[in-house]
Each structure stands twice: as C-alpha cells, then as structure tokens.
Amino acid sequence: MELGVKSRAWLKGFHVLFVCLWLGTGLSMVLILTMKAQPNSDLHLYSVISSLKVIDDFIIIPSAIGCLITGLLFSLFTKWGFTKFYWIIFKWIIMILQIILGTFFLGPWLSNMLALSNELGFRANDNYQYISNYNLNLYFGTLQAVLIILAIFVSILKPWGKRSK
C-alpha cells in the first residue's frame, strides 16, 4: 500500500521537522560545549551540564526516534523502500550508527559529566574522567552533526542510483 500525495507530504513534513530538531539541538550542544559556557561556580557548572542533559533527553532523543519512525514509514509506504536505492541504504546505515553512538556513548558520557559535576562541583574541570567525557562529547557530537548534514545532502542529491535486482 502506497501513501497518497497529501499523506506523503505530511510524512515528509514531520520527517524534515525531526531532522531539523535533531541537527539544530545537536549543533547547539556542540556550541555550548565549545564555548564551555565559562562556568565560574559549582552550581553554574552543574547547571550547564544539566541543561545539556535535558536538551539531550527531551529534544535529541525524541527527534532521533521521530526520524527513525518517519523513515520506517517512508520505506514501508512509498516507492522508495528499504533497499531499492543505494542512497537509502546509506541513510539507514548512517541513522542506525548515529542512534547507536548517541545511546551507548554520547548519552552515557554526558550522564557521567553530570554525575561528576554534581559530585566534584567546579573541581570536575580538573578531573581526567570529566575532561575525557567532555572531549568525547565535543568531538563525537560534532561528528554526529556532520553525519546528519551528510544525510540531508544525500537525501537531496540522491547520488547513487537504483540497485539492480
């Protein structure tokens, strides 16, 4: 069963919305990490990291899930399918890798930063584990944003053709 024109347009609108949310908040988190928000007290450091955790939990995670669900619906109910085109296979691989990266690495690193900033206060800035988690979040968060941008351009350009049967 294929979706009609209006249904496809609604689905595309929601997919684009979720992508925008995911990319925008991801870039915002990278910017906050890059600027280090210049915390000057225990409470300020904890507040900055706590804010990043809230952004992650309530915007990034739901928008990534929204992209996954709308992508599944596109593959199931449109002519694009899951594996008919190389560019769609590429997008699926990128999305699954990003969700795995976020779930098993970025999220836990951020949670660890939050716990350390709560436990150590401002001294967390001198803690090896905190600094390591900070750097990993910054670098891999940037990578994740770049991968989302790459997926956007692959969606627009559709650089690889249809798979032969």
Instruction: Give the Cα separation of 108 and 133 in Å (integer).
Output: 9
Residue 133 buriedness (CB in 10 A; 0-12 / 13-18 / 19+): buried
Q: Which two tokens stand for residue 38?
A: 């210049």
pLDDT of residue 38: 67
Q: Give pLDDT tens digits along the chain (165 positions).
A: 888 999 999 999 999 999 999 999 999 999 999 987 667 788 888 999 999 999 999 999 999 999 999 999 999 999 889 999 999 999 999 999 999 999 999 999 999 999 999 999 989 989 999 999 999 999 999 999 999 999 999 999 999 888 887
pLDDT of residue 37: 63
Compute the CA torsion angle 87, 88, 94, 99 (nearest 10 deg): 170
